């Protein structure tokens, strides 16, 4: 009887979400090395390769940290949303581990966005903060994800915390477009997106564009590395918790 | 329920839970009174802190008083919403409720309607205080749009509020979590409410091009949040 069980364990292909954790564990080291190299090269490019912007000078270079961080934050938010749906559908705790990990990463990068923004705004807009649509939107998103971190510790048990966090992230995500429009109509001062703009895109210096694209890539790798690492930790933590019970 | 069409059975179940909640809420009344007092207190404190809000001849005062009214509704609403499931948890009646063969979504609808009735009820004296403290002119042609905005905003706020109250009520420190979750997500409905109420107080019509988009936004927020809550409520009340 025991033999049969051992065989089954050895032969069985791991099913479902646990595979995602294993894959993330496998890519963790190479992605980590690539991300570290990428971020180093990115900072080199920002310092030496990207040309100085005529009007703003060196201050403008914070843009190469600001924009990729915003992109990474929204990527993380999307991962939280998808993993939360998958968790409620399958009840596989691994999806919740992924959502919890990505939720923390989202908060980290949103914090970077909210710090680099005012640092740039002070010299250029002559104010640290303004109730512009994008700033307000990012702040509200930050507040939602700060509250998201509290749901799990506040819940009576971890299974309940997982369900609550999933519901919050799904309802929050569904409301994001509405929040976006509401703050957009409220008041706005933020520079219009230049890169995506069909006319403005041509005005962006090729070296600037390349630097931005490179930093976007490096930050995405960094996100993948954080996610892989954080999911491993969360998974171990849950395993330990299960042993303790 | 043999022979009864499912929709009729659902309506009966919703009505039964709604009437139960209205009855118990009205009999205890503590939550209602607390909600009203707290919101009235907010209006008073803001009226004292921001005297400009009561200057009737200043256009900016109308905007201020609209903002104060909605903040008072939001905070008073949080106070009341926190109580809806807390009482059920304390008396352990939530278990009985969950054991009945009622769809979780229908349970949500009943709870939502009960909260809506209570919050709208509290808003009647609040409206009077709004007029009294801030010299808000809501008579004549302004009255119906003013009420429409209040109802649209309150529906959206209560829709997500009821969902998150169910979540917050089964956490360790029950009252803390609800405002932290609800207020950021309810930002659009508060901004829209403030914008529309201010527009009415300034004497413009809700069908003006600049304002009608805010009315639409409220309708969209109400529908989206009612749907999302209806679908996700069951995940919050599993025992």
Q: What is the pLDDT of residue A21?
A: 85
Question: For residue A56, what are the domain limits?
Answer: 2-244
Q: Do residue B220 and residue A88 have CB atoms under 8 angstroms apart?
A: no
What is the predicted pLDDT for the residue at A205? 82
The CA-atom distances, in angstroms, between A34 and each of A37, A216, A218 are 5, 13, 8
> What spatial distance separates the first Cα and last Cα of chain B, rounded to whole Å?
25
Q: Which residues pair with B171 in a beta bridge?
A: A155
Q: What is the pLDDT at residue A13?
A: 53
Domain count, chain A: 1
Query: Would you call A147 an interface residue with chain B, using a CB distance cutoff of 8 Å?
Result: yes
Q: Counting Cβ atoms within 10 Å, is residue B202 exposed (0-12), middle (13-18) or buried (19+)? A: middle
pLDDT at residue number B86: 78
Chain A residues in contact with B176 (beta carbon < 8 A): 154
ipTM: 0.89
Is residue B191 within 8 Å of residue A155, measured between CB atoms?
no
Chain B interface includes A170 (CB < 8 A) = yes
- pLDDT tens string, chain B, 239 residues long: the values are 456 787 888 899 899 889 998 998 888 888 899 999 999 999 999 999 988 888 776 777 888 999 999 999 999 999 999 888 877 877 778 888 888 888 889 999 999 999 999 999 999 999 999 999 988 888 888 889 999 999 999 999 999 999 999 999 888 777 889 999 999 999 999 999 999 998 888 888 888 777 888 999 999 999 999 999 999 999 988 76
Digits of tens for pLDDT over chain A (245 positions)?
Answer: 444 444 444 445 556 778 888 888 888 999 999 999 999 999 999 888 888 877 777 888 888 999 999 999 999 999 999 999 999 999 988 999 999 999 999 999 999 999 998 888 888 888 888 887 888 889 999 999 999 999 999 988 888 899 999 999 999 999 989 988 888 887 655 555 555 444 444 567 888 888 999 999 999 999 999 999 999 999 998 888 888 76
**For testing contact with chain A, the best of B185, B211, B221 (most A CBs within 10 A):** B185
Residue A100 bridge partners (DSSP): none
Residues facing A53 on adjacent strands: A57
Q: For residue B160, what is the nearest residue in chain A, using CA coordinates?
A: A171
- CB pairs A-B closer than 8 Å: 90
Compute the distance between CA of residue A170 and CA of residue B228 in angstroms, rounded to an integer. 8
Nearest beta carbon to residue B224 from set A164, A175, A185: A175
- Hey, of A88, A171, A183, which one would you mutate to test binding to chain B, going by the most B CBs within 10 A of its CB? A171
Judged by DSSP in three states, A47 sits in: helix
* Rounded Cα–Cα distance for residues B115 and B166 (Å): 12
For chain B, the three-class secondary structure string (H helix, E strand, C coil) is: CCCCCHHHHHHHHHHHHHHHHHHHHHHHCHHHHHHHHHHHHHHHHHHHHCHHHHCCCCHHHHHHHHHHHHHHHHHHHHHHHHHHHHHHHHCCHHHHHHHCCCCHHHHHHHHHHHHHHHHHHHHHHHHHHHHHHHCCCCCHHHHHHHHHHHHHHHHHHHHHHHHHHHHHHCECCHHHHHHHHHHHHCHHHHHHHHHHHHHHHCCCCCCCHHHHHHHHHHHHHHHHHHHHHHHHHHHHCCC
Q: How far is A91 from chain B (nearest CA, A)?
A: 11
Q: Which residue has the tokens 């923004």?
A: A117
Per CB-CB distance under 8 Å, the chain B contacts of A160 are: 170
Nearest chain B Cα to A157, which residue?
Answer: B171
Residue A183 host element (H or E): helix A158-186
Contacts of B181 in chain A (CB under 8 A): 144, 147, 151, 168
């Amino acid at each position: 009887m025991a033999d049969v069980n051992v065989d089954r364990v050895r032969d069985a292909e791991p099913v479902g979400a646990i595979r995602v954790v294993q894959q993330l564990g496998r890519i963790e080291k190479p992605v980590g090395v690539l991300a570290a190299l990428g971020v180093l090269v990115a900072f080199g490019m920002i310092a030496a390769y990207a040309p100085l912007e005529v009007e703003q000078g060196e201050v403008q270079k914070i843009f190469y940290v600001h924009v990729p961080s915003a992109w990474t934050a929204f990527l993380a938010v999307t991962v939280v949303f998808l993993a939360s749906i998958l968790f409620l559908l399958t009840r596989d705790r691994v999806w919740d581990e992924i959502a919890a990990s990505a939720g923390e990463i989202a908060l980290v990068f949103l914090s970077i966005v909210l710090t680099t923004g005012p640092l740039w705004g002070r010299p250029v807009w002559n104010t640290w903060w303004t109730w512009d649509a994008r700033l307000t939107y990012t702040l509200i998103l930050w507040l939602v994800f700060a509250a998201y971190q509290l749901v799990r510790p506040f819940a009576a048990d971890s299974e309940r915390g997982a369900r609550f966090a999933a519901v919050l992230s799904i309802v929050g995500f569904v409301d994001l477009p509405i929040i976006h429009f509401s703050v957009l109509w409220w008041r706005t001062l933020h520079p219009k997106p230049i890169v995506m703009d069909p006319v403005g895109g041509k005005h962006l210096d090729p070296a600037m564009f390349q630097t931005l694209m490179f930093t976007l890539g490096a930050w995405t790798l960094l996100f993948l590395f954080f996610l892989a690492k954080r999911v491993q930790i969360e998974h171990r933590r849950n395993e330990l918790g299960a042993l303790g019970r | 329920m043999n022979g009864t069409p499912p929709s009729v059975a659902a309506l009966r179940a919703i009505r039964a839970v709604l009437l139960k909640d209205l009855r118990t809420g009205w009999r205890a009344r503590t939550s209602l009174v607390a909600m009203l007092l707290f919101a009235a207190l907010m209006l008073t404190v803001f009226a004292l802190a921001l005297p400009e809000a009561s200057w009737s001849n200043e256009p900016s005062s109308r905007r201020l008083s609209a903002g104060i009214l909605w903040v008072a509704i939001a905070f008073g609403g949080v106070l009341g919403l926190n109580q809806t499931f807390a009482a059920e948890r304390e008396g352990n009646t939530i278990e009985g409720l969950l054991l009945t063969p009622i769809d979780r979504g229908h349970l949500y609808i009943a709870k939502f309607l009960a909260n809506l009735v209570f919050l709208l009820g509290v808003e009647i004296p609040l409206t009077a205080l709004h007029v009294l403290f801030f010299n808000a002119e809501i008579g004549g042609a302004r009255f119906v749009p003013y009420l429409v905005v209040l109802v649209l905003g309150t529906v959206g706020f209560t829709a997500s509020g009821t969902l998150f109250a169910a979540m917050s009520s089964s956490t360790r420190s029950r009252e803390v979590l609800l405002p932290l979750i609800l207020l950021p997500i309810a930002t659009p409905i508060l901004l829209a409410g403030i914008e529309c109420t201010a527009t009415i107080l300034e004497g413009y019509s809700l069908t003006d091009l600049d304002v009608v988009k805010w009315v639409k936004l409220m309708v969209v927020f109400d529908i989206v949040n009612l749907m999302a809550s209806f679908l996700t409520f069951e995940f919050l009340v599993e025992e």
